[in-house]
Amino acid sequence: QQQVKQSPQSLIVQKGGISIINCAYENTAFDYFPWYQQFPGKGPALLIAIRPDVSEKKEGRFTISFNKSAKQFSLHIMDSQPGDSATYFCAAIYNFNKFYFGSGTKLNVKP
Amino acid sequence: DAGVTQSPTHLIKTRGQHVTLRCSPISGHKSVSWYQQVLGQGPQFIFQYYEKEERGRGNFPDRFSARQFPNYSSELNVNALLLGDSALYLCASSRALKRVETQYFGPGTRLLVL
């Protein structure tokens, strides 16, 4: 059973547009929700993260929105750039090392 | 500063063989975790080691084992390889046991089992 469900599988956005990736979870024990960015041939890199007591967190062009009652969270990339083209993974953690990743979203930002 | 390093970068094995993958964490990091990333999927947690002790284990068979050395480097061993073990194996390090949310990933070892 997949602990974290991520959508869409792939996404094409024009330069300057907004990219939105969604994730949903069931286990209410999760207490930390990071997003990772992965370029081909590289390991995932932490992008931004949020705790469930916060509804929104913004860092530069990246924003996480968190809906605890719906058990959903999303990543918004504002003013998307071709350099943002990568695979994005959401994740959820509980008990400090019980780490579950979503299946990934391949983002392609067209110039 | 050097990041997490892994060796080898690529590996081809046949079914039934054994493989050892190696990881060197960032200097000062004492926690090492291993993940399996099958093509097109997110990483799956295999093990976490801290101060040479296993501190967490994912849902993987006993064919998978690991250890951490006094210098905090780590090895992942997989016995009796199956075709389904073909994947990118990622190592990640973090400074403390309970700070895995800020872990840094290495580039991975791509294993192909024929």
Range of the domain at B82: 5-113
Average pLDDT over residues B67-77: 97
DSSP state of A109: E
**pLDDT for res B100:** 66
Q: Number of folded domains in chain A?
A: 1
Q: Number of folded domains in chain B?
A: 1
**CB-based contact A93 B101, cutoff 8 Å:** yes
* Chain B residues touching residue A89 (CB < 8 angstroms): 42-43
B91-109, pLDDT tens digit by residue?
Answer: 999 987 776 667 899 999 9
Contact residues, B window 14-73, toward A, CB-based 8 Å cutoff: 33, 35, 40-45, 48, 55-56
Other CB atoms within a 10 A radius of the CB of residue A11 amount to 18
- The span from the CA of B92 to the CA of B76, in Å, is 12
Contact A101, B43 (CB under 8 A): yes
At a CB cut-off of 8 Å and minimum separation 6, what does A43 contact? B4, B90, B92, B105, B106, B107, B108
Contact residues, A window 60-89, toward B, CB-based 8 Å cutoff: 89
- AA identity, residue B88: L
Whether the per-residue pLDDT at A1 is higher than 70: the answer is: no
Range of the domain at A52: 4-110
* Chain A residues touching residue B35 (CB < 8 angstroms): 99
Of A26, A19, A37, nearest to A75 (Cα)? A19
Average pLDDT over residues B58-63: 95
How many beta-carbon contacts under 8 Å exist across A and B? 57
B41-58, pLDDT tens digit by residue?
Answer: 999 999 999 999 999 899
* A97: confidence class by pLDDT, cuts 50, 70, 90: confident
**Residue A62 is part of a domain; what is its CATH number?**
2.60.40.10
* Chain B residues touching residue A97 (CB < 8 angstroms): 33, 45, 48, 55-56, 97-98, 100
Average pLDDT over residues A19-30: 95
**Residue B75 is part of a domain; what is its CATH number?**
2.60.40.10
**Which of B35, B43, B101 is nearest residue A49 as measured by Cβ atoms?**
B101
**CB-based contact A43 B4, cutoff 8 Å:** yes
Average pLDDT over residues B19-35: 95
* A41: confidence class by pLDDT, cuts 50, 70, 90: confident
